[in-house]
Structure 1
């Protein structure tokens, strides 16, 4: 699946490079650090009320950055794949990256719900709501973490697989 519009990657080439370097490897480093950190913080905040209060709005803000960064990384990666060719290793990395995308974006609503549950109110949130939100948040966090590892491994194998 190609997220770049039918106009093709050439129209986006200025946006997908910095100083002549492809943007994907640069974005990947930010994505591979911030996404797991946000997922871990989400799971901790979902299960530990004290951490939830301490994290406050930082968690939804980090998840918002991930929700913007992940699609940009995918688009830049598709542009790079169009340039270098879609060999099997790159195709596997791309397929896993596309699987990660909705989960990385799901960190945002999950983190907003976890933040909402922890907000002080006059009437406490129902216990069932806290349990359901915590369970959903932990599932989103765990799946996101697993997929980040799989995507990163496939990407590293695509780049470094022939070296050794």
Structure 2
């Protein structure tokens, strides 16, 4: 990206429509992957690093998309007034808390899941030695609660991405095109 006045561009085009695609693709992809990892512990164990990477990239793309969107909104508002763009910008400002909440939930899932795996292994080992003593199921219970949190925050973040994206598309096609 290269700054052109106050507007960041990529190959002469405003960066926002390009950067926003990272959010639109990565956050829902991370949500689907996180929900799958929450429901299937074997997948969480195997794909935790890619899940964390996609989630972090998606979350980090949100403020970049917001910044480039603000620049584009400022540039467009100098030429003409479009209340749909203002509405889209206002909605866009709401995505970061959703994305951050989802990102934190994914990290919690990976940590609680790892601890639950260790607890499960210790319980299996203990059962082989002494059937009378058991290992507490604390982290296994925590991981279930966190899995529900991941499902809720992933669905909420994805729904918000769709709402914001729809408002942006509407602003462009109904507001600018007419």
Partner residue in 2 for 1:3:
none
CA–CA distance in 1 between the matches of 2:22 and 2:28? 10
Partner residue in 1 for 2:68:
76
Partner residue in 2 for 1:154:
167
Deviation of 1:133 (Å): 0.7
Deviation of 1:131 (Å): 2.1
Equivalent pairs counted in the alignment come to 154
Unaligned residue ranges in structure 1 (runs of 5+): 1-8
TM-score normalised by length of structure 2? 0.77
Secondary structure of the structure 2 residue equivalent to 1:57: helix
Unaligned residue ranges in structure 2 (runs of 5+): 123-136
Secondary structure of the structure 2 residue equivalent to 1:35: helix
Between 1:144-153 and 1:53-62, the stretch displaced more is 53-62
Partner residue in 2 for 1:135:
148
Partner residue in 1 for 2:125:
none
Aligned with residue 113 of structure 1, among 93, 108, 114: 108
Q: CA RMSD in A?
A: 2.2
TM-score normalised by length of structure 1? 0.83
Larger Rg: 2
Deviation of 1:19 (Å): 2.6
Counterpart contact for 1:40–1:141, Cα < 8 Å: yes
Are 1:29 and 2:24 an aligned pair? no
CA–CA distance in 2 between the matches of 1:111 and 1:33? 17
Counterpart contact for 1:70–1:105, Cα < 8 Å: no
